[in-house]
């Protein structure tokens, strides 16, 4: 019998929660009925929660820790609903042998998807156990109290989760019928609890895949082609097999690698083979100086993604502008790394991929192995922010491990590998025009965005999305590029303005051809689209003679959007009508990430040195509404990190390339924000405990870029529309 579960709350306190549940037959989940979050595609209740008879509790999540503190938040959610102490609960994440398949950890969706699933699964597990306890203790369920998994009656009867649970207790499909606790009953959710991943990171513990050591482990390196499309013509493999420490040289077509006893030996052989290998060069890259014109000249699939036609007042003036963003690198501090062991027709991989199951699918295709013979285990990596080289290096490690069966091989990319071969965030072009009425209101809005795809991740049909697979003697082609569907979108993410406009037309020009390798980078297209939209809103406000805060509020009906803008303005000491002094300025940027996740308003204070062209970001104030807050400190950490990264993108970062290939190969040729350049940051959190929690990790990016650009414009009267805002562009504006 499938049961439905209902709950009534009788009281609350810090020590115990009094709950009542009743079993009601006939409430099975209807065929085709949608369940919330990741529960929909992973309905086995015991796939989410295990209660061991020794007193331990384990929860399983397909989402993984990327430095965003997600495992801490998920533990809080699960422990809250199970009424157990946090110390009793452990979490297993991202393992194809143990956890639910939640696809990728991306898009700031972990709390929305995994959190929702764990909350409902834990509530249902608790309901089942309380019903069993009521039967054992001979007491009505509403008279039971629960404290750290111990269930009691007022008369002194006691049992516990671990006494009640059996091997088949949770062997059923989840129904999502058990209502989770209301916000006012929470004891753990909403508290700033210490993150479980931080101690090892600050004490030098072995927490990253880069730190892993397995018994008898060997070390590998791969020799990459000099450029896209280059083909290996020849190399004297025998000469390198005689070099110190070499255990194996692996070559398959243009894939070339070495396995050695020690890491420095593998590096020495890799460098020597790189210098000795003979290559046939690939096709030339486009002119970097005209890359946005080149992209717009390529065939595109154009779609109007939003259109409104309504009665409008007469227009008295019109404005138009174009904006650009360059290719951006993930620039992970730790180069991509993986460990692999191939033995007896099985493959084990330890990797910092964001999607263990999609990676397993592509590995199986590349290696011609059944998926069930491959186990992919997530281990944290030092740097991510989208699809960097984590998936690619996993295939590198697998190919090298095949050359030494039974031995674990650790492969780490070199810094130049990481910069030259990772997939970049795409370059983008945005054009916008609008008309204003006599009262300064926007009466018409026309927006266009040009972009490649924003995801070439593994796991898609039609090919293998892993670098080494394209270099094999029998190469496997990548899948065709695809448009990420809305409402999240890819290049069109946040291209539809949140403002209430009577007439608008938004067009997405999707460009399938990719001159440079591209894929997911934090925020996808939202960073560029919000930068363009919010920069143009300031330009329109100036044309209307309006204050930028007031101008936005006037065009917003969404009360939560208005609240975050007003909160940021109040915290930053915004003064309507204030003008820059030629050097110092203050600017605003606002967005609701993906138009359905967190609301963020940013106010940036800058100082501009006209002589050097250097923009100094002095202070950033953020106001954030992410619905119910699970861990306030963790949420603030995410916003702070997003601010710093977006500031680096805005002021410094762009991938350099020439006709021969990528020229950004190190930290000198790809500078990022330094510690001494990090601004003062203040974050205001608007908690809404009765609203669903919303994704926040990527939400600050676009508003930061716009706020900085708007602050520069207020300070100097010069509008910069091309990212990054490097000194050369600042000086050119004054020239």
How many of the other CB atoms lie within 10 Å of CB of 373? 13
Q: Which fold has domain 3-193?
A: Aldehyde Oxidoreductase; domain 4 (3.30.365)
pLDDT surpasses 80 at 11: no
User: What is each CA distance from 726 to 323, 706, 717, 721, in whole angstroms?
Assistant: 15, 15, 17, 12
The confidence score (pLDDT) of residue 120 equals 97
The residue-averaged pLDDT of 221-250 equals 97
Range of weakest confidence among 23-27, 152-156, 655-659:
23-27
Helices and strands counted in the chain (H then E): 17, 26
What radius of gyration do the chain's Cα atoms show? 27
The residue-averaged pLDDT of 575-590 equals 93
How many of the other CB atoms lie within 10 Å of CB of 550? 16
Kindly indicate the confidence band of residue 9, based on its pLDDT and cuts at 50, 70 and 90. very low
CATH 3.40.1080.10 fits 209-281+330-420, yes or no: no
Mention every residue, 6+ apart, whose C-beta is less than 8 A from residue 115.
37, 73, 74, 77, 630, 693
The residue-averaged pLDDT of 27-35 equals 73
The confidence score (pLDDT) of residue 141 equals 82
Q: 113-151: per-residue pLDDT in tens?
A: 999 999 999 999 999 999 999 999 999 888 899 999 999
Helices (H), 174-262: 198-203, 237-241
Q: Are strands 428-437 and 255-260 parallel, antiparallel or unpaired?
A: unpaired
pLDDT surpasses 70 at 249: yes
User: For residues 389 and 330, what is the distance between their CA atoms, to the nearest angstrom?
Assistant: 9
Considering the chain, tell me which residue range(s) the CATH 3.30.365.10 domain(s) occupy.
Answer: 3-193, 209-281+330-420, 428-454+489-734
Evaluate whether 575 touches 587 at the Cβ level (below 8 Å). Answer: no
CA 73 to chain centre: 16
pLDDT surpasses 80 at 524: yes
The tokens describing 141, both together, are 């369920």
pLDDT surpasses 50 at 554: yes
- With vertex at residue 385, the alpha carbon angle to CA 283 and CA 375, rounded to the nearest 5 degrees, is 90
- What whole-number percentage of the chain has pLDDT above 70? 96
The confidence score (pLDDT) of residue 25 equals 32
The confidence score (pLDDT) of residue 577 equals 86
What SS3 class is residue 166? Answer: coil
Kindly indicate the confidence band of residue 51, based on its pLDDT and cuts at 50, 70 and 90. very high
- What whole-number percentage of the chain has pLDDT above 90? 91
Q: Mean pLDDT for the chain?
A: 94
User: What is each CA distance from 518 to 9, 284, 462, 626, in whole angstroms?
Assistant: 51, 17, 18, 29
The confidence score (pLDDT) of residue 15 equals 33
Kindly indicate the confidence band of residue 31, based on its pLDDT and cuts at 50, 70 and 90. low
Total-model pTM: 0.94
pLDDT surpasses 60 at 614: yes
Q: 324-341: per-residue pLDDT in tens?
A: 999 999 999 999 999 999
Evaluate whether 277 touches 232 at the Cβ level (below 8 Å). Answer: yes
Kindly indicate the confidence band of residue 4, based on its pLDDT and cuts at 50, 70 and 90. very low
Q: Which fold has domain 428-454+489-734?
A: Aldehyde Oxidoreductase; domain 4 (3.30.365)
CB-hemisphere CA count at 13 Å for 533? 28
User: For residues 475 and 93, what is the distance between their CA atoms, to the nearest angstrom?
Assistant: 33
Kindly indicate the confidence band of residue 20, based on its pLDDT and cuts at 50, 70 and 90. very low
DSSP 8-class letter at 439: T
């Amino acid at each position: 019998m499938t049961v439905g579960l209902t709950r009534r709350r009788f009281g609350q306190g810090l020590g115990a929660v009094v709950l009542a549940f009743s079993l009601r037959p006939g409430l099975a989940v209807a065929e085709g009925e949608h369940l919330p979050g990741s529960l929909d595609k992973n309905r086995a209740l015991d796939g989410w929660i295990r209660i061991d008879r020794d007193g331990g509790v384990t929860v399983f999540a397909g989402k993984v820790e990327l430095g965003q503190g997600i495992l801490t938040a998920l533990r809080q959610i699960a422990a809250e609903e199970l009424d157990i102490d946090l110390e009793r609960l452990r979490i297993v994440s991202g393992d194809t042998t143990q956890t639910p398949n939640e696809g990728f950890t991306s898009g700031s969706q972990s709390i929305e998807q995994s959190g929702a699933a764990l909350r409902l699964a834990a509530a249902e597990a608790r309901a089942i156990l309380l019903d069993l306890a009521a039967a054992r203790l001979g007491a009505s369920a509403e008279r039971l109290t629960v404290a750290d998994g111990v269930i009691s009656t007022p008369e002194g009867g006691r049992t516990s989760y671990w006494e009640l649970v059996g091997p088949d207790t949770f062997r059923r499909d989840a129904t999502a019928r058990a209502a989770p606790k209301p916000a006012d009953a929470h004891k753990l959710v909403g508290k700033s609890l210490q993150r479980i991943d931080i101690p090892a990171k600050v004490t030098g513990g072995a927490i990253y895949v880069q730190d892993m050591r397995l018994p008898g482990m060997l070390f590998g390196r791969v020799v990459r082609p000099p450029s896209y499309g280059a083909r290996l013509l020849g190399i004297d493999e025998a000469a390198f097999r005689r070099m110190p420490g070499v255990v194996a040289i692996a070559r398959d077509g243009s894939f070339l690698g070495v396995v050695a006893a020690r890491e420095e030996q593998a590096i020495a052989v890799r460098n020597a083979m790189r210098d000795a290998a003979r290559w046939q060069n690939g096709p030339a890259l486009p002119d970097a100086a005209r890359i946005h014109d080149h992209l717009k000249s390529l065939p595109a699939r154009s779609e109007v993604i939003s259109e409104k036609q309504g009665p409008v007042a007469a227009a008295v003036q019109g404005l138009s502008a174009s904006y650009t963003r360059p290719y951006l690198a993930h620039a992970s501090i730790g180069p991509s790394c993986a460990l692999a062991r191939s033995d007896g027709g099985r493959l084990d991989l330890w990797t910092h991929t964001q999607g263990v199951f999609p990676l397993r699918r592509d590995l199986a295709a590349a290696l011609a192995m059944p998926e069930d013979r491959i186990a992919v285990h997530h281990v944290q990596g030092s740097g991510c922010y989208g699809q960097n080289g984590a998936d690619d290096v996993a295939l590198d490690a697998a190919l090298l491990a095949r050359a030494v069966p039974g031995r674990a091989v650790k492969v780490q990319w070199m810094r130049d590998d990481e910069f030259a071969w990772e997939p970049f965030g795409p370059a983008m072009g945005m054009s916008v025009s609008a008309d204003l009425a006599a009262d300064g209101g926007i009466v018409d809005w026309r927006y266009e965005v040009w972009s490649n795809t924003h995801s070439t991740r593994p796991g898609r049909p039609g090919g293998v999305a892993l670098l080494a697979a394209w270099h094999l003697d029998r190469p496997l082609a990548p899948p065709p590029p695809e448009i990420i569907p809305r409402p999240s979108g890819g290049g069109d993410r946040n291209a539809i303005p949140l403002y209430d406009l009577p007439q608008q037309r938004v067009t997405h020009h999707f460009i399938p051809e990719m001159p440079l390798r591209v894929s997911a980078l934090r925020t996808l297209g939202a960073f560029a689209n919000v930068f363009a939209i919010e920069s143009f809103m300031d330009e329109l406000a100036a044309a209307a003679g309006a204050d930028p805060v007031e101008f936005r509020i006037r065009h917003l009906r969404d009360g939560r959007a208005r609240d975050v803008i007003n909160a940021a303005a109040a915290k930053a000491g915004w003064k309507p009508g204030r003008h820059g002094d030629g050097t110092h300025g203050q600017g605003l940027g606002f967005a609701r990430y993906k138009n359905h996740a967190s609301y963020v308003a940013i106010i940036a204070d800058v100082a501009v040195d006209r002589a050097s062209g250097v923009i100094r970001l002095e202070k950033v104030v953020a106001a954030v509404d992410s619905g119910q807050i699970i861990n306030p400190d963790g949420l603030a950490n995410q916003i702070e990190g997003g601010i710093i990264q977006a500031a680096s993108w805005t002021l410094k970062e762009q991938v350099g390339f020439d006709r021969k290939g990528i020229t950004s190969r190190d930290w000198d040729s790809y500078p990022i924000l330094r510690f001494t350049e990090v601004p003062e940051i203040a974050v205001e959190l608007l908690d809404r405990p009765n609203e669903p929690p919303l994704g926040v990790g990527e939400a600050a990016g676009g508003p930061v870029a716009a706020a900085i650009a708007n602050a520069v414009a207020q300070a100097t009267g010069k509008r910069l529309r091309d990212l990054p805002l490097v000194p050369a562009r600042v000086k050119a504006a004054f020239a």
